[in-house]
Structures are given as structure tokens and as C-alpha cells.
């Protein structure tokens, strides 16, 4: 009997891996992770169930629309009754892309992996498009966005955290298959754990003749990162950053983990976020790279940080394109502040410069 992986079926059905795993549980089918395999017969049953649900939902919508029309007719013959609007504003939460930091030991391929991810990304191949260094890069995979912090390593990560900036959602730990777990690997793991950030492992340099993936996995298990295939809950993806092998699978696993974490942010509130870096430009003046935490940052907003403030005169995305707004998780470069803010500081949008 042929088999299919959980995450593959999730893609076909349009469900998140988490939703699909819950459905399988309801059917009495126990699966450990998104990498688990199930019989294609069970997969077919789920697809049929979803089709039935879709039909039932469409029928319900038609009935509700009919009832709503009838209610409107009734309201039209009662003009004396005024409809009182509720003043209370409901908070609106929307899904947001994951923000990822790449960590690991020196020379294990962190920078090469980031470069490969950016180069192979279709969104980067725009006519005349040059990636701007704004502190973070946006990568698309299957219509879903992932935001990578440009500075690899845990030094920048801890510097941001020291200022109270909780920017990272997922840490990708790069471990070279020909070198294994090293002191900086353990250091990076400890920093990620202290911040409560889930770790996904990229076992790099699998193309090297002396690469030993099994030995690397054993060493990872010894520091508490037990691979899924060994009964643990750590996702390990085998990659070659140099050749591009396994990079697409790594991006898929990041998206899966982000779905599982159900990352959301408030959008109908004044924008808040963090400063990634800042620089002084001869023509533009103080330039700040920021990442939005919640709300929508717009051109014309008045931004306040610990040491700087000003009206956003212009905003640019990571492709150097001028934009008018940026939502949660999105990195942008802003112009208009009166001085240079410090990396790791928070910013918020205020109603007037007096604030």
C-alpha cells in the first residue's frame, strides 16, 4: 500500500499540518510529526470529508444570505427603529510571517546558507533588483513569506534581547556534518532556549566527503536536540548551502513550524516594533531599519524611540522599493527621524510630536 507524508497531504488539502494532525487524531490515526507517513486510502478519506464539508458550507452560506435578505426587508418597513452602533473597537489579529535568525558555530556555513536562500529566492530576481542591506530579508516560498535577520550568529540576537527586543520566532541552528557540535553551537542553543525560541536544525556541508550525519545527530541528541526520526521533536534538515541541496525543504520546514506556532499580531492598533540597525546617509540623513511587531506602519506616521523621533517621510522594503506601509514582521528602512536610534530599541507610533 502506498504512503504519503503528513505535510505533503497538508499542502494538497490546503490545511495546515497542525489542523491535519488534529483531524487524523479524530479518526484514530496517531501520527507523531508532520514527517510521519499515512496510507493513501486514509488520505483519500480525508480529501472526501473536506469536499463534503465544503459543499455543506456553501449550502449554509446560501441559506444565511437568504435569511439576511429577508431580515433587511423587515428592517426597511420599520424606519422609526434606529440601529445603535457599538463604539467598542474589537482587536483584529492576523497571521504574520515568521522572523528567523540563523545561528551556529563559526565556519559552519551560516552566511553561505543565508546567501543561498536569498539568491535562490524568485522574489529576489526582479529586473535590476539588488538586495538592500536593511537588517532583514523577506523570502517567499509557495506564496508564504519568511523574514530572515541578515546578521547571522547569536551575538546580534543577544544584543537585541539585552535591550528587551524579542524579534526572533524561530532559530535555525547550522551544524556542519563534517565537524559536529562545537562550543559555539552549544552557546547558540542556550541563548535560543533562554529566549524561549524553538530551534530547527540545518545539518550543513553534507556534500563534504568526510560528512557524518549520523554522528552529528548523536551529538545533537546529547545536548537535548533529539531528531524527530529518533523519537524526539527536533526537526533536522540535511543541506548543502554551497550546492543549494535541501534548502527548499528547509524553507518548507520553517513554514510548517510557523503554522504550528500560529503566529499572529494585532493590526488595528498604532504600530510598534524594533530598530534592527541605523546609519547616517549623506543625502537622506538618519536612516533606521525597523521590523514591525504589531499594527501597520505607514508613511506620514510619527515615530518615537528612546533617543529619536520624527515623521516617516519615506519607507523602503528589502528590495529597495519605496512602500507606503508595512505590516507585522515586515522589515523596512525609514527616513525622517531627527537622530540615530540604537539597535534593539523599540519604536512606537504616536499621534503627535508633542507626545
Provide the 10 A C-beta neighbour count for residue 61. 10
- H or E, element range at 155: helix 154-162
Question: How far is the C-alpha of 97 from the C-alpha of 326, rounded, in Å?
Answer: 12
Same-domain status, 115 and 195: yes
Q: What is the pLDDT of residue 326?
A: 97
Question: How far is the C-alpha of 42 from the C-alpha of 27, rounded, in Å?
Answer: 9
Confidence check: pLDDT of 77 > 60: no
> Beta strands 136-141 and 170-176: pairing type?
unpaired
Do the beta carbons of residue 162 and residue 344 sit within 8 Å? yes
User: Which residue from 219, 264, 263 is spatially nearest to 91, judged by alpha carbons?
Assistant: 264
- Considering 206, 239, 265, which residue would you say is the last residue of a domain? 265
Least confident of 145-154, 155-164, 173-182: 155-164
Same-domain status, 48 and 118: no
Tally of domains in the chain: 3
pLDDT level of residue 129 (50, 70, 90 thresholds)? very low
Do the beta carbons of residue 23 and residue 15 sit within 8 Å? yes
- H or E, element range at 346: strand 346-350
Long-range contact list for 30-33, CB < 8 A, 24+ apart? 31/6, 32/228, 32/231, 33/6, 33/228, 33/233, 33/235
Give the domain CATH number at 212. 3.40.50.300
Tens of pLDDT, residue by residue over 256-282, are 899 888 999 999 999 999 999 999 988
Confidence check: pLDDT of 106 > 60: yes
| pTM > 0.85 | no
Is residue 291 domain-resident? yes
Is residue 186 domain-resident? yes
- H or E, element range at 13: helix 6-13
Same-domain status, 124 and 204: yes
- Considering 56, 81, 106, which residue would you say is the last residue of a domain? 81
Give the domain CATH number at 299. 2.40.30.10
Is residue 343 domain-resident? yes
Same-domain status, 225 and 132: yes
Confidence check: pLDDT of 249 > 70: yes
Do the beta carbons of residue 114 and residue 251 sit within 8 Å? no
Confidence check: pLDDT of 122 > 90: no
Question: How far is the C-alpha of 137 from the C-alpha of 123, rounded, in Å?
Answer: 11
Domain of 302? 269-350
Same-domain status, 192 and 326: no
Same-domain status, 317 and 332: yes
Do the beta carbons of residue 177 and residue 206 sit within 8 Å? yes
Is residue 222 domain-resident? yes
Long-range contact list for 70-78, CB < 8 A, 24+ apart? none
Same-domain status, 230 and 333: no
Q: What is the pLDDT of residue 21?
A: 83
Give the domain CATH number at 7. 1.10.10.2480
Question: How far is the C-alpha of 316 from the C-alpha of 322, rounded, in Å?
Answer: 4
- Considering 249, 265, 281, which residue would you say is the last residue of a domain? 265
Same-domain status, 281 and 155: no
**Percent residues over pLDDT 90 in the chain:** 51
Tens of pLDDT, residue by residue over 175-228, are 999 999 999 999 999 999 988 999 999 999 999 999 999 999 999 999 999 998
Amino acid at each position: 500500500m502506498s504512503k504519503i507524508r503528513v505535510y505533503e497531504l497538508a499542502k494538497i488539502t490546503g490545511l495546515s499540518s497542525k489542523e491535519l494532525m488534529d483531524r487524523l487524531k479524530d479518526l484514530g490515526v496517531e501520527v507523531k510529526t508532520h514527517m510521519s507517513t499515512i496510507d493513501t486510502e486514509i488520505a483519500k478519506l480525508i480529501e472526501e470529508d473536506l469536499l463534503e464539508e465544503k459543499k455543506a458550507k456553501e449550502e449554509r452560506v446560501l441559506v444565511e444570505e437568504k435569511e439576511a435578505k429577508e431580515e433587511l426587508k423587515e428592517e426597511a418597513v420599520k424606519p422609526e427603529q434606529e440601529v445603535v452602533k457599538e463604539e467598542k473597537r474589537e482587536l483584529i489579529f492576523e497571521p504574520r510571517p515568521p522572523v528567523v535568525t540563523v545561528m551556529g558555530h563559526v565556519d559552519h556555513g551560516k552566511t553561505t546558507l543565508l546567501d543561498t536562500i536569498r539568491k535562490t529566492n524568485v522574489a529576489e530576481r526582479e529586473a535590476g533588483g539588488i538586495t538592500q542591506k536593511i537588517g532583514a530579508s523577506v523570502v517567499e516560498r509557495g506564496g508564504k513569506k519568511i523574514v530572515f535577520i541578515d546578521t547571522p550568529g547569536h551575538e546580534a540576537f543577544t544584543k537585541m534581547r539585552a535591550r528587551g527586543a524579542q524579534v526572533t520566532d524561530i532559530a535555525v541552528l547550522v551544524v556542519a556534518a563534517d565537524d559536529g557540535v562545537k562550543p559555539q553551537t552549544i552557546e547558540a542553543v542556550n541563548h535560543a532556549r533562554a529566549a524561549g525560541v524553538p530551534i530547527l536544525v540545518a545539518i550543513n556541508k553534507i556534500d563534504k566527503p568526510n560528512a557524518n550525519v549520523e554522528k552529528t545527530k548523536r551529538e545533537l541528541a546529547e545536548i537535548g536536540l533529539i531528531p524527530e526520526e529518533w523519537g524526539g521533536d527536533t526537526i533536522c534538515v540535511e543541506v548543502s548551502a554551497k550546492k543549494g541541496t535541501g534548502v527548499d525543504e528547509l524553507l518548507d520546514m520553517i513554514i510548517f513550524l510557523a503554522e504550528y506556532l500560529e503566529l499572529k499580531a494585532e493590526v488595528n492598533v498604532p504600530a510598534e516594533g524594533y530598530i534592527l540597525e541605523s546609519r547616517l546617509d549623506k543625502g537622506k540623513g538618519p536612516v533606521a531599519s525597523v521590523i514591525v511587531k504589531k499594527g501597520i506602519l505607514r508613511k506620514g506616521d510619527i515615530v518615537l524611540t528612546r533617543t529619536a523621533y520624527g515623521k516617516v517621510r519615506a519607507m523602503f522594503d528589502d528590495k529597495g522599493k519605496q512602500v507606503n506601509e508595512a505590516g507585522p514582521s515586515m522589515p523596512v528602512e525609514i527616513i525622517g527621524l531627527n537622530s540615530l536610534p540604537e539597535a534593539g530599541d523599540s519604536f512606537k507610533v504616536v499621534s503627535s510630536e508633542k507626545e
